[in-house]
Chain A
Amino acid sequence: MNRKPSAAESIATHLVLSAAVAFSLYPILWVISIAFSGKRPPEARVLPLITEPTTAHLTAVVGTSRDGHWIFGQQLANSLVVSAATAAVGVLIAIPTAYALARFRFAGKETGVRTLLATQMFPTVASAIPLYLLLDKLGLLNSRSGLVLCYASTSVPFAIFQLRAAFEAIPVDLEEAAMVDGATRFQAFLKVALPAARPAIAVTALFAFMSAYNEYILAATLLDKEEMFTLPVLLKSFIGEYKQEWEKFAAGSLVVALPVMALFYVAQRHLIAGLTSGGVKG
């Protein structure tokens, strides 16, 4: 069914798609207009136009410093380090687990999988207080490692499911061929299964990175020192009980979104391939 669409069909398609794009972009355009408007625009208006263009809010957010210490830089670093570490720890734990679940038969396998699934049913908020108490006992409150520990523990189950499906989609023949060729079981995993699962691993790592990067509730619960804040906590701090700095919030949101957008841009090919892998036989 590859016939060329008629002009009318083409126009209709483009109209529908343009409407969909406008629908998704509208809130973002609002954020942009607020971030770059010098004067707070009147609340009730339809078009998100920039009034009295300025970059003052942006420089105010990015340039925040205390006692000569560049606080925004510190918080950006916190976010990046915590997210990268979460992705690394999560994927490193998930890979061997997922491989074992995909390839071996052992006692308690199904029970284990069901337990993992059950952990996914609890909202993060439910574990916030217990995690706070645990980290307090361990002396890890207000630390990046404490946050990484919490994030990794929540990202691992999802990563395991994701990677298990990826390993199951790799034909066992490949590893058997490697073993006949002279590889040990571990070498077959390392040199054949792992490279074949690379797109899925990249996607899983990206998801873990993003969920950590965007997480607010745990970060707000476990961190109370400004220099340890991650970016979502910083953003929320602009909206207080007595003072609402929506311009800074909007400008900050744009800056915060940049690293993730860049990552998506770089990884989009892998991302699409990874999301469809397993569903369609290659």
Chain B
Amino acid sequence: MASVTVRDLHKKFGETHILKGVSIEVPRGKFAVLVGPSGCGKSTLLRLLAGLEEATAGTIHFDDRDVTSLAPRERDIAMVFQSYALYPHLSVRENMAFGLKLRKTEPAEIERRVKQASAMLGLDHLLDRLPKQLSGGQRQRVAMGRAIVRRPSLFLFDEPLSNLDAALRSQVRVEIRKVHDELEATSVYVTHDQVEAMTLADVIFVLNKGVVEQAGHPLDVYARPATRFVASFLGSPSMNFIDVELARDGGGWVAAGKDELRVTFDAKGFEKGLVAGKQVTLGVRPHEVELFSKSATYRTTNERGAPLTVSIVEALGTESFAHGKLGGASFVARLDAAAQIKKGETVELAFKTVHLFDRETGQSLRDEA
């Protein structure tokens, strides 16, 4: 296994600048996830790590080895493709042995490793089949097996679950993480699915428009998004954003918006960014609200709750999502199903946590973000 260090990597296709100075660091044995919307450059970054694309500028190191201009076969990597890319004319066994044969590994050793990997992935009974005789989930596992038998210093995954149905996806997701842990490998995994990103990653890199917007432990990134983009990308349903103006309120601060919205909040953690009269964006996750109650005390609230006029209620059993308007913006609140909110009602909400973003730059106003 190896560590991965990418410094100031650029990639242009003709006039199109795909990666604009990306730097990432993946320590040995960690599971890194590159996540972002379509076209953000995450797959290009992975292909650069694999050596399938040439960097326009910048360097890539695996441990101390500069691999920037090495061919894929010289990098000691294995990759699982979105399409699985199984060789259609070779059996499962031959698919898995392909890389080892090219490297002139002893036949007995090849057999041993194929056996080991197929046992690990439950492929024993499929070894003599052709890829076209397998289901999607089985093909996916063969692609994993082909990567595992190589024992590479780095595993690369390019959206490996996107062709599987939802039930299978969560099952294979767990398997991938299990395999990673068993092999104590270093892995870089590309996805646009935030659930995969949150559940698999030791370290997450959120990419947008060819730059890394934020890197860190997934829970840290979720709790303290550095930009409005990261805040909106991670979390489902997405974070709510409301245009507000900052004002002082005695010793504290208040965010005031349309429809008589006034949110008093604890300025702790925001000290440097707060300027009275500044137009900012208030961010509230649907899961960080609750029904206002006069008897409770909140870190972030005011004398009365923020009014949400409910237009749609999605009841999911234990919880309900109330959609409506709050402070002049669309708003989604996750509420306990027991509250029995109805369409057309106006409910008062209290926010457990708030996020503040610069209206122009989208940067978080949080001090340590």
In the complex, which residue of chain A has the Cβ closest to the Cβ of B132? Answer: A282
Is A109 in the interface zone, CB < 8 Å from B? Answer: no
Q: Is the CB of A195 within 8 A of B81?
A: no
Q: Is the CB of A178 within 8 A of B88?
A: no
Is B222 in the interface zone, CB < 8 Å from A? Answer: no
Compute how far the CA of A195 lies from the CA of B99 in the bound complex, rounded to whole angstroms.
17
Residues of B near A171 (CB, < 8 A) are 83, 85
Is B60 in the interface zone, CB < 8 Å from A? Answer: no
Residues of A near B98 (CB, < 8 A) are 178, 181, 191
Q: Is the CB of A182 within 8 A of B99?
A: yes
Given the interface pairs A176-B52, A176-B85, A196-B88, the reply to whether A181 lies near B71 with Cβ below 8 Å is no
Which residues of A (166-220) have their CB < 8 Å from a CB of B?
171, 173-174, 176-184, 187, 191-192, 195-196, 198
In the complex, which residue of chain B has the Cβ closest to the Cβ of A177? Answer: B85
In the complex, which of the residues B71, B83, B132 contacts A173, with contact meaning CB atoms closer than 8 Å?
Answer: B83
In the complex, which residue of chain B has the Cβ closest to the Cβ of A192? Answer: B87
Given the interface pairs A173-B83, A174-B85, A187-B102, the reply to whether A181 lies near B52 with Cβ below 8 Å is no
Interface centre among B51, B98, B103 (most CB of A within 10 A): B98
A32 to chain B, nearest CB (A): 42
In the complex, which of the residues B79, B83, B89, B103 contacts A180, with contact meaning CB atoms closer than 8 Å?
Answer: B79
Residues of A near B71 (CB, < 8 A) are 179, 184
Given the interface pairs A178-B98, A181-B102, A181-B146, the reply to whether A173 lies near B73 with Cβ below 8 Å is no
Q: Is the CB of B85 within 8 A of A179?
A: no
Interface centre among B73, B146, B156 (most CB of A within 10 A): B73
Q: Is the CB of B87 within 8 A of A178?
A: yes
Is B50 in the interface zone, CB < 8 Å from A? Answer: yes
Residues of A near B88 (CB, < 8 A) are 174, 196
Compute how far the CA of A56 lies from the CA of B150 in the bound complex, rounded to whole angstroms.
69
**Chain B positions 16 through 51: 1 when the CB is less than 8 Å from some CB of chain A, otherwise 0:** 000000000000000000000000000000000011
Residues of A near B362 (CB, < 8 A) are none
B319 to chain A, nearest CB (A): 41
Which residues of B (146-166) have their CB < 8 Å from a CB of A?
146, 150, 156
Compute how far the CA of A176 lies from the CA of B79 in the bound complex, rounded to whole angstroms.
9
Interface centre among A176, A181, A184, A195 (most CB of B within 10 A): A181
Compute how far the CA of A29 lies from the CA of B89 in the bound complex, rounded to whole angstroms.
42
Residues of B near A184 (CB, < 8 A) are 71, 73
A264 to chain B, nearest CB (A): 24
Is B78 in the interface zone, CB < 8 Å from A? Answer: yes
Is B136 in the interface zone, CB < 8 Å from A? Answer: no
The size of the chain A interface, using a CB distance under 8 A, is: 19
Which residues of B (309-348) have their CB < 8 Å from a CB of A?
none
**Chain B positions 67 through 106: 1 when the CB is less than 8 Å from some CB of chain A, otherwise 0:** 0000111000111011101111100000000110011000
In the complex, which residue of chain A has the Cβ closest to the Cβ of B73? Answer: A182
A202 to chain B, nearest CB (A): 13
Interface centre among A176, A177, A192 (most CB of B within 10 A): A177
Q: Is the CB of B77 within 8 A of A180?
A: yes
Residues of A near B51 (CB, < 8 A) are 179-180
Residues of B near A178 (CB, < 8 A) are 87, 98
Compute how far the CA of A171 lies from the CA of B88 in the bound complex, rounded to whole angstroms.
11
Q: Is the CB of B78 within 8 A of A180?
A: yes
Compute how far the CA of A282 lies from the CA of B132 in the bound complex, rounded to whole angstroms.
9
In the complex, which of the residues A176, A177, A182 contacts B103, with contact meaning CB atoms closer than 8 Å?
Answer: A182
Residues of B near A196 (CB, < 8 A) are 87-89
B206 to chain A, nearest CB (A): 26
Q: Is the CB of A180 within 8 A of B73?
A: yes
A27 to chain B, nearest CB (A): 41
Q: Is the CB of A181 within 8 A of B99?
A: yes
Q: Is the CB of A179 within 8 A of B52?
A: yes
In the complex, which residue of chain B has the Cβ closest to the Cβ of A173? Answer: B85
Residues of A near B72 (CB, < 8 A) are 176, 179-180
In the complex, which residue of chain A has the Cβ closest to the Cβ of B90? Answer: A195
In the complex, which residue of chain A has the Cβ closest to the Cβ of B52? Answer: A176
B155 to chain A, nearest CB (A): 11
Residues of B near A174 (CB, < 8 A) are 85, 87-88
Q: Is the CB of B87 within 8 A of A180?
A: no
Residues of A near B73 (CB, < 8 A) are 179-184
Compute how far the CA of A181 lies from the CA of B94 in the bound complex, rounded to whole angstroms.
13
Given the interface pairs A173-B81, A196-B89, the reply to whether A180 lies near B102 with Cβ below 8 Å is no
Compute how far the CA of A177 lies from the CA of B143 in the bound complex, rounded to whole angstroms.
10
Residues of B near A181 (CB, < 8 A) are 73, 78, 98-99, 102, 146, 150
Residues of B near A183 (CB, < 8 A) are 73, 102
In the complex, which residue of chain B has the Cβ closest to the Cβ of A194? Answer: B89
In the complex, which residue of chain B has the Cβ closest to the Cβ of A179? Answer: B72
Compute how far the CA of A204 lies from the CA of B146 in the bound complex, rounded to whole angstroms.
33
Interface centre among A171, A182, A198 (most CB of B within 10 A): A182
Residues of A near B85 (CB, < 8 A) are 171, 173-174, 176-177
Compute how far the CA of A177 lies from the CA of B157 in the bound complex, rounded to whole angstroms.
12
Compute how far the CA of A192 lies from the CA of B78 in the bound complex, rounded to whole angstroms.
17
A185 to chain B, nearest CB (A): 8
Residues of B near A198 (CB, < 8 A) are 89
Assuming A181-B98, A187-B102, what are 14 further A-B pairs, CB within 8 angstroms?
A: A173-B82, A173-B83, A174-B88, A177-B85, A177-B86, A177-B146, A178-B98, A179-B51, A181-B146, A181-B150, A182-B73, A182-B103, A184-B71, A282-B132
| 29 CB-based A-B contacts, threshold 8 Å | A171-B83, A171-B85, A173-B81, A173-B82, A173-B83, A174-B85, A174-B87, A176-B50, A176-B79, A176-B85, A177-B86, A177-B87, A177-B146, A178-B98, A179-B51, A179-B72, A180-B51, A180-B72, A180-B73, A181-B73, A181-B78, A181-B102, A181-B150, A182-B103, A184-B71, A184-B73, A196-B87, A196-B89, A198-B89
B contacts, CB < 8 Å to A: 50-52, 71-73, 77-79, 81-83, 85-89, 98-99, 102-103, 132, 146, 150, 156
Cβ-closest 6 pairs across A and B: A181-B99, A173-B85, A177-B85, A182-B102, A195-B89, A182-B73
